[in-house]
Amino acid sequence: MERLIEGHKRFLREVFPGRRSHFHLLAEGQAPEWLFITCSDSRVVPDMVLGTEPGDLFIARNAGNVVPLTSQDVDGCTATIEYAVKVLKVKDAILCGHSDCGALKAALDHSALEGLPKAERWLNHVEAAFGYQQPLNPADGESAELASLIRGNVVAQLLNLKAQPAVRLAMEEGLLRVHGWYYDILTGRIEQYDEGLRRFVAWGE
């Protein structure tokens, strides 16, 4: 806890004074440009990776960057999506998976979920990833099978995202674009799913 307290003191001393006007505007409301759906993994830090500022990203996080498809339950992720699209009017929705994802590791080896009934139930949502596994990439080395499944989960959850009523309507009206990304922690690089090519393409290719 001491590290967090000291970090906050440093923020108040070194960061906040120079950004006071920006935070003053944020205190009055938000107008993020992007909805960013990603994993809870502590190694994924969107603002650092994308160079964004407070107020730029409306972020939804959960284990496995899941977008549940159900008409019965209410969950935080789909409620966040609905609010972002219908109220905040974001222009882009990004579904971002990442390398070495523990949720997809558990999908490959269910023994990792022993004694975790809630996590096991939640991760039923990633089973669809097996139907969208991507070709193995030699660059992924020993993690190629896992990386293939993680990318497949991005595709599966992207389809779930498009199926959300608010998203589907906004897309039909030309008000929203959706994107599927894969973030590699080791290299820091992002790949985007190209629906025409039906594969992931690194930015700059």
pLDDT tens digits, one per residue of 11-43: 999 999 999 999 999 999 999 999 999 999 999
Please give the average per-residue pLDDT across 87-95, as a whole number. Answer: 98
Using CA atoms, how far residue 106 sits from 77, 127, 196, in Å, is: 21, 10, 30
pLDDT, residue 69, reads 86
Cα 156 from Cα 38, distance rounded (Å)? 14
Helix (H) or strand (E) holding 199: strand 199-202
pLDDT, residue 74, reads 75
> 157 with 65: CB under 8 angstroms?
yes
Residues labelled as active-site residues: 39, 41, 43, 98, 101
Q: What are phi and psi for residue 12, nearest 5 degrees?
A: -65, -35
Using CA atoms, how far residue 8 sits from 4, 16, 26, 123, in Å, is: 6, 10, 18, 35
Cα 97 from Cα 32, distance rounded (Å)? 21
Q: Taking 60 as the threshold, does the pLDDT of residue 118 lie above it? A: yes
pLDDT, residue 187, reads 94
Q: Taking 80 as the threshold, does the pLDDT of residue 66 lie above it? A: yes
Task: Give the chain's domains with CATH numbers.
Answer: 39-202 (3.40.1050.10)
Strand-strand pairing, 190-194 and 177-183: antiparallel
Residue 203 makes CB contacts below 8 A (sequence gap 6+) with 189, 190, 191, 192
